[in-house]
Amino acid sequence: MTQEERINLARDVRATAEELEKLSEDKDWYVRFYVARHANTSTSTLERLSEDEDWYVRFYVAKNANTPISVLEKLSEEHNVDVRWRVANNPNTSSVALERLSGDLEEKVRYYAIMNLNNFRIREMIKVGRASILDINWYKKAGHLEISWMRDWEAGLFGIRREV
């Protein structure tokens, strides 16, 4: 298979986890980068790619919604600031990792970790029935709610309408 064919397969929405697993071992970082960002990539493949030599591949592992929490926790200690920033931005990152990242030396990492931690706490409060719309409205007025990257259904829970 040519490089172009391997890249096209890694980008194909119909690619299977098995095909992506095979492509994750490609010598070309560009192919591995597309595997890392693919929605069908298995958690075991993402786990292996989280140790890739290329930071850009690790960046997209940190961004992938299927990345296991344990991998996100490991990547939260990554030396590359952009990888840590993606971990801080991932809604699946644990509160433990977000707490650690909230003290990061880099401002953009701290900012997103704190915003994600606030949103994490709100989601947890809603799950256990300890938050009401009044609580959420107070949070919004106090400026603690970052909605720019929230999922649409979460924004709907808080009575927030997105402007397009």
Domain contains 53: no
Domain contains 18: no
Confidence of residue 89 (pLDDT cuts 50, 70, 90): very high
Asked if residue 4 has pLDDT above 60, the reply is yes
Question: Which one is predicted more confidently, 139 or 119?
Answer: 119
Total length of the chain = 164
The answer to whether the beta carbons of residues 35 and 23 sit under 8 Å apart is yes
Domain contains 114: yes
* Distance from C-alpha of 54 to C-alpha of 116, rounded to nearest angstrom: 26
Give residue 149's pLDDT.
41
* Distance from C-alpha of 158 to C-alpha of 134, rounded to nearest angstrom: 9
Q: What mean pLDDT do residues 116-145 have?
A: 59
Q: What mean pLDDT do residues 82-103 have?
A: 93
* Distance from C-alpha of 72 to C-alpha of 130, rounded to nearest angstrom: 27
Q: What mean pLDDT do residues 93-105 have?
A: 91
Domain contains 129: yes
Domain contains 118: yes
37: left (phi over 0), alpha (psi -120 to 50) or beta: alpha
Q: How many domains does the chain have?
A: 1
Query: Mind listing the pLDDT tens digit for each residue in 19-29?
Result: 999 999 999 99
Give residue 124's pLDDT.
66
